[in-house]
Amino acid sequence: MAVPKNKVSKSKTSSRFANWKVKTPGLSECPHCHELKKNHEVCPHCGFYKGEQVIQIKDAD
């Protein structure tokens, strides 16, 4: 059975988790409306995905 030889301090334990950072999502330009959208998802502005209209977007006008 694995038993630690020495006590691990709180700072050493905390420093293991110090480098976890929030990453920005991968964004790309929509080829149809040229707005930024998430990769591999339907464009929330125009509703197109891979050149086809997948969902109908209602205008706010």
Show me where the domains of the chain are located. 27-61
User: What gap in Å lies between CA 53 and CA 30, rounded to an integer?
Assistant: 12
- Cβ pair 59, 52 in contact under 8 A: no
What is the overall mean pLDDT for the chain? 89
Tokens of residue 19, six digits: 């480098």
Q: Assess whether pLDDT exceeds 90 at residue 8.
A: yes
Token pair 């930024």 in the structure block, residue: 36
Q: Assess whether pLDDT exceeds 70 at residue 37.
A: yes
Rounded to the nearest angstrom, the gap between the alpha carbon of residue 53 and the centroid of all alpha carbons in its chain is 23
Q: Quick one: pLDDT at residue 60?
A: 57
Q: Which of 7-11, 28-32, 35-39, 53-57 has the lowest mean pLDDT?
A: 53-57
Token pair 């700072």 in the structure block, residue: 11
Average pLDDT over residues 37-60: 90
Residue 57 amino acid letter: I
